[in-house]
Structure 1
Amino acid sequence: MSDNTAAWIDSPYADLTIREAPMPKPGPGQLLVEVRAVAANPLDAIIQSNGTVMYGWLRYPVILGEDVAGVVVEIGADVDAFAVGDRVVAYAMGLEKGRDAVSESGFQAYVAVDAGLAAALPAATAFEDAAVLPLAVSTAAAGLFESDQLALDYSRVGKEAARDEVVVVWGGATAVGGNAIQLARAAGYRVITTASAKNHDRMRQLGAEAVFDYRDPQAVDQIVREVGGSAVAGILAVAVGSAEPCLRIARGTGATKIAMASPPVSFYEQPRRRGLSFARIRLFLELGTRTAFLQVRSRAHGIRASFIWGSAIATSPVGPAIWGAYLPAALASGEHRLYPEARIAGHGLPDIQKAMDTLRRGVSAQKLVITLDRAPRGS
């Protein structure tokens, strides 16, 4: 009998079910973490809404969840940077192709995570606050620094570098956007972003030098004017529908690279059930048409527009640079702020499904976090 419990998704589109799960065993380079808090991500809700459309390699039943914070209870071989008892935040990689979608996914009491995608937490940092970080900061890092994305220079992240180049982040108040602002600034780049008016002060606190309201019809022109004659190192498009204004900004500033963290349509605009429906057919027709049109227009103007895959940093030098060299010290010093704000959505695995349903209805500048009670573990 296992001492582990998980929120399982037994088949595409199904609600989560709480039951016993195998106790993960950390492999080489891994940590076994007793989970104290998890966050619900749009990715989790999208997988549940889309069935096998995007993550066709999953073989159900599986466990969802990427964002975890907790305590290290066991260490695999070849791990030197952590010890049993360490408080950590980590990116659970179970849903990625070739990974174990049971032992390495986050919605459970114990999870095996890669030590290279974990960071020590300051003693004063609450687990629920830290749980907002992993997928968002990893996706932001991939978009900014991976060679097939914006390919920004990360060699001096956190070392007070200064460059007279601009990074534009459309959607700064999103989880990915807020972390991208901080990472770009830590690498020495100037940042211009967009957000609703109520979030402008927060964006400046994160490091943006100028903020514009994305709802303003003049926002694109305002950003182009703000850039002036400065070089634009790249544009990060976050949130549904952000690619089109970012393409216009690229054309107006001479930027040649756009990294996109969101599709051009919302995957929530479909029924969460099997089979064809008018809404699902319309959504995927619109997705295909708008994506193809965007690529044609981008290439016609010498602009590379690419979609970000946040887990890319797990197998590239970007992962160690951000999770190993930058985050532990930046979290300890407060240089990197935990963003967005954690909104407690429950206190146990059964509350995760409710959090995902809330996420589909819309959450702004917050991340839904579920705290977990300390899990008993046998000897």
Structure 2
Amino acid sequence: MPQNSAAVLPAPYADLVVRDADYTAPAAGELVIRNRAVAVNPLDEIKQSTGDLMYKWLPHPAVLGEDVAGDVVEIGPGVTGFHVGDRVVAYAVGMEKGRNHTAEGGFQLYSVVEAQLTARIPDDLAFEDVVVLPLAISTAASALFQKDQLGLDHPTAGGHHPAPRQSVLVWGGSTSVGSNAIQLAVAAGYRVVTTASPHNHDRMRALGAEHVVDYRSPSAVSDLLTLLDDQTVAGIFAVGTGSAEPCLTIAIATGARRLCLASPSVSMSTLPRRRSLLALSRFGLQMASRVAPLMVRSRLRGIRTRFVWGSSLMTNEVGPMLWNDFLPKALADRSYVTAPRAEVVGTGLQSIQPALDAVREGASATKFVVLL
């Protein structure tokens, strides 16, 4: 049996500790992969920094991590389409409710993953490049295509679409989620308008965005309204802290009926990495003062506004559509770009904690990756 190790969160607010871990065989519908690269996400850092504010159901010690890429080493009953030795990328869901929180975490050498959330990758695609995708692309797909979110048409790998008849606004295009939302919306046949810092504008156009606006510009909202004038706006996806309010204004002005939110209105990075009732109370009051008026305004205007959770595609048709049908083909024919850019910050499980520290410091159009 393979010898497993994991970077474990031993207690709230603690640093990760590398220790031996059990190897778990796959159940029906599952695979075990030997991770060759993992990426870190703000959710991992938030869980470490805020204790039980998020993922209250996750016990300690905990194995965090959602983005994994590596080789298939064992296949569970009923799984088809995969073979031992396949190179894959997968969305590890051990942090979610009702999962095996230890075996299905990403920050370890061997992870159990759902076959329906796993995609084969080409031999010449580096693990460190493709591992930036799982949580980001899953969140973007859930927002764009789930019927209870924007409900857009599904994408086609390498497909050729007629001239787009409808537009989608993605506020926050240079984020991990935004970069994937742009590509998915374009692959589904929509015209995409997005926002980003000026130094990322060319990168956004390369991903398929037709127009890019500087989100920090005082005229950002009016500029976007000009670009969307006389367009049918199929939906608006707000990514990033502070994006909800301007996106709602645009939805009202353009007649868009659906607005999806990926980020809270107040950044959790403002919370100290320790237990502080005062800081939590202040954060809660700020959230309530921002979210409640937003939701009331949305309802009064007849706009369906909802937050998205990346793992929700596990329970509907969007998961298999994305991971089993679209992504393997799109990666194989190079019609899909692995974005954002991967920055390798170390090798070995001991490098994951410095990567989390780097996430807390912030990054633009970059995801931090550790090789295993």
For residues 5-154 of structure 1, what are the structure 2 equivalents within 5 Å?
Answer: 5-154=5-154
Offset, 1:85 = 0.3
Distance, in Å, in 2 between the alignment partners of 1:98 and 1:82 is 25
For residues 194-209 of structure 1, what are the structure 2 equivalents within 5 Å?
Answer: 194-209=195-210
Does the C-alpha gap of structure 1 residues 238 and 369 become closer, same or farther in structure 2, counting only changes over 3 Å?
A: same
Does the C-alpha gap of structure 1 residues 327 and 242 become closer, same or farther in structure 2, counting only changes over 3 Å?
A: same
SS in 2 for 1:80: coil
Q: Is the 1:94–1:104 Cα contact (8 Å) retained in structure 2?
A: yes
Amino acid at match of 1:368: F
2:241 maps to 1:240: yes
Q: Is the 1:158–1:326 Cα contact (8 Å) retained in structure 2?
A: no
Distance, in Å, in 2 between the alignment partners of 1:360 and 1:60 is 21
| Percent identity (aligned) | 54
Task: Give the TM-score, by structure 1 length.
Answer: 0.96
SS in 1 for 2:241: coil
Offset, 1:157 = 5.9
Partner of 1:164: 165
Distance, in Å, in 1 between the alignment partners of 2:39 and 2:157 is 26
Q: Is the 2:175–2:239 Cα contact (8 Å) retained in structure 1?
A: yes
Distance, in Å, in 2 between the alignment partners of 1:114 and 1:355 is 25
Offset, 1:159 = 3.1
Partner of 2:226: 225
Q: Is the 1:49–1:267 Cα contact (8 Å) retained in structure 2?
A: no
Output one character per residue of 1:345-376: Cα deviation in whole Å (capped at 9) or x when no partner: 1111111111111111110000000001xxxx
2:339 maps to 1:339: yes
Amino acid at match of 2:41: N
2:283 maps to 1:283: yes
Q: Is the 1:2–1:20 Cα contact (8 Å) retained in structure 2?
A: no
Q: Is the 1:157–1:188 Cα contact (8 Å) retained in structure 2?
A: no
Distance, in Å, in 1 between the alignment partners of 2:180 and 2:50 is 27
Distance, in Å, in 2 between the alignment partners of 1:7 and 1:155 is 36
Offset, 1:115 = 0.7
SS in 1 for 2:72: strand
Query: What's the Cα RMSD here?
Result: 1.2
Q: How many residues align?
A: 371
Distance, in Å, in 2 between the alignment partners of 1:74 and 1:206 is 35
Offset, 1:281 = 2.2
Amino acid at match of 2:289: T
Offset, 1:2 = 6.8
Offset, 1:155 = 6.5
Output one character per residue of 1:284-326: Cα deviation in whole Å (capped at 9) or x when no partner: 2101221111101111111111000110111110011111111
Partner of 1:377: none
